[in-house]
Structure 1
């Protein structure tokens, strides 16, 4: 989608994101930018670093980074040299074709690197940081670097807005973009009908991985927990959305090896697989919010290599109370979290069974979701973010 105008009058926007979750939010933002630019009579063209969703929304993708996603020290090492090479490509492109405005989206490492480069070599280019790193959670020393690199920061969490404002950033809270996607959530009955699942069936949905490393560190514990659930409740069945086609064979083999009564679901039907569930066992991430917006009880877990976890605990000195976005939204323990050494199959299975079999516990969690949703802001998040960005072009 483009806005008709002579080519030379178009304003150039470059969006830089570092991994798979950024591509989802980037795609939504690109659509909103074109939509709001057309309303304002502004001609724009968008290029960037991202993935398929940004490309489908109308971005000229310079580099597709979907396979470069990793969290943690050891986990990121295999991608470091490749990432450095790609960063050089981005820098050369920006020098050849300087944008009128730069948007840094989500992932801290690559964004800070390219943001510092632009500040140094292209000081007249305005920069916006959208979905900023969760510094108030992880207590890293990068806060001031993030503040220094951007002219405006668009916050999605209320705590995020307060934290960065106190650090000296020009902050605007716009709300969380998932509100726009799930303004009218799919019901359990609709989802089960679409997936041909009986109304009375007991269904647990497993969300093990959106990154390669998570197949190694998270999926085994999650699938072993599912096996324990199946032993106690033989009638239960499992749905497993496959986030990337490359993961399908490995996930299918793992489900078979753990003896799970599991059905793999394509990514396009992932929302149906969540909405159809009685309980979701979920890795920590943006999907936690999607599950909450669909009013499905959930257990959250995460695992990294033990070395990375030790570095986080004793070197970085991670001090946050929570990691799940559901709990971070208002800094309250809405969903149970099992992290690293606490993420044992037994603990995960026991917590999931409690939600599966106890209707009172389920309703308590769903009621807690309601307050969280109010903190996510009203629909129209992506349009608000787009207008804040377009204001910078004036």
Structure 2
């Protein structure tokens, strides 16, 4: 083994973090073929030789879901055990991938002990919880930023940061493979297809999917030929199937295991939960209706911390309501169906948003794996 290749510890939470960390590890392995990596992660990371001491699913909880507070004790215990192990094994660096509620505390402990700490995916201090900047300063040596406006915010606070672009912009093709995706999903080229993406958390399935299915039922009454596709993330199929049976009715709906990128490439429009998936939909140049719903106490707390009027990444990056957002009380079947109809009835509007999203794709496509690897190499002095 090449003993000069680094040993890295990583923690990624949820499917989106696993995907981003997997893309990062791919670039790191190209530079350092004998790289060793371990920590908390999922299948995308394991493809690059990652040793998952715990599965990423254990971190897949919403930071302010009061109905899930009972799980916090388990998470604190896991973080303490992971910290003990890393302090004993002393990797060359720790990379926290998103999941700031879990990672920042761990990073603070490791940094105090002299282990280099890197945070990949900037916490959204520009959207809410801006006072977290002080905690970030204490926790990390360097932040790898996905969006071009972020490094200046960190540098003003005395935190080293590098814009590396978004790895999804590299992974998703500039030209959408619509025909291939439709063929893979058995969808006719002439069909009008709507993708339903309720999120990957169990709480999201419970709070959001019934409204999406209700909207699909209303749309079907007006347009019986509509086709719907619903990607089901790993670990939530047991929640999805009963809801489909209860609410889907006469909808022409295909539930698929994962394959969300194929669904986005194949669809004409998506009804989608706010989160990383909205950026994926934008990179596939798809018109969308962004929605979200959560426990009302969680909503009150998050709403009080918001700094700007948008929650969806496409709108945040565009600094305007390029696509509609229907949140909390507005997350109803009727409102979602109406917003979807407005897209379906306006081809010119759809073409305009495709052009905006193409510009966004070019902005974020920066060969993130190489840029991030270069930054990590400098931090490690290699």
- Secondary structure at the aligned position of 1:223 is classed as helix
Matches of residues 1-394 of structure 1 in structure 2 within 5 Å?
4-6=1-3, 9-38=4-33, 43-71=34-62, 72-120=64-112, 122-123=113-114, 125-244=115-234, 246-258=235-247, 259=249, 260-267=251-258, 269-314=259-304, 317-378=305-366, 380-394=367-381
Offset from partner CA, 1:288-335 (integer Å, 9 cap, x none): 122122122111111111111112234xx3222211111222423222
Q: Deviation at 1:249?
A: 3.7
The answer as to whether partners of 2:5 and 2:32 remain within 8 angstroms in 1 is no
The answer as to whether partners of 2:292 and 2:326 remain within 8 angstroms in 1 is yes
Q: Which runs of 5+ in 1 are unaligned?
A: none
Offset from partner CA, 1:54-92 (integer Å, 9 cap, x none): 122111112112143122231441320110111121011
- Secondary structure at the aligned position of 2:127 is classed as helix
The answer as to whether partners of 1:288 and 1:325 remain within 8 angstroms in 2 is yes
- Secondary structure at the aligned position of 1:135 is classed as coil
- Secondary structure at the aligned position of 1:301 is classed as strand
CA distance change for structure 1 residues 10 and 175 in 2, over 3 Å: closer, same or farther? Answer: closer
- Secondary structure at the aligned position of 1:334 is classed as coil
Q: How many residues align?
A: 378
Q: Which runs of 4+ in 1 moved over 4 A?
A: none
Taking only aligned residues, the RMSD between alpha carbons, in angstroms, comes to: 1.7
Q: Deviation at 1:185?
A: 4.3
Offset from partner CA, 1:203-237 (integer Å, 9 cap, x none): 11101121111111111111111111111111112
CA distance change for structure 1 residues 67 and 151 in 2, over 3 Å: closer, same or farther? Answer: closer
Q: Greater CA deviation, 277-286 or 69-78? A: 69-78
The answer as to whether partners of 1:31 and 1:58 remain within 8 angstroms in 2 is no
The answer as to whether partners of 1:159 and 1:330 remain within 8 angstroms in 2 is no
The answer as to whether partners of 1:239 and 1:263 remain within 8 angstroms in 2 is yes
Q: Distance in 1 between matches of 2:48 and 2:245?
A: 37
Q: Distance in 1 between matches of 2:206 and 2:239?
A: 10
Q: Greater CA deviation, 181-190 or 348-357? A: 181-190
Q: Distance in 1 between matches of 2:175 and 2:332?
A: 32
- Secondary structure at the aligned position of 2:225 is classed as coil
Q: Distance in 2 between matches of 1:143 and 1:57?
A: 32
- Secondary structure at the aligned position of 1:319 is classed as coil
TM-score, length basis structure 1: 0.91
Q: Greater CA deviation, 58-67 or 171-180? A: 58-67
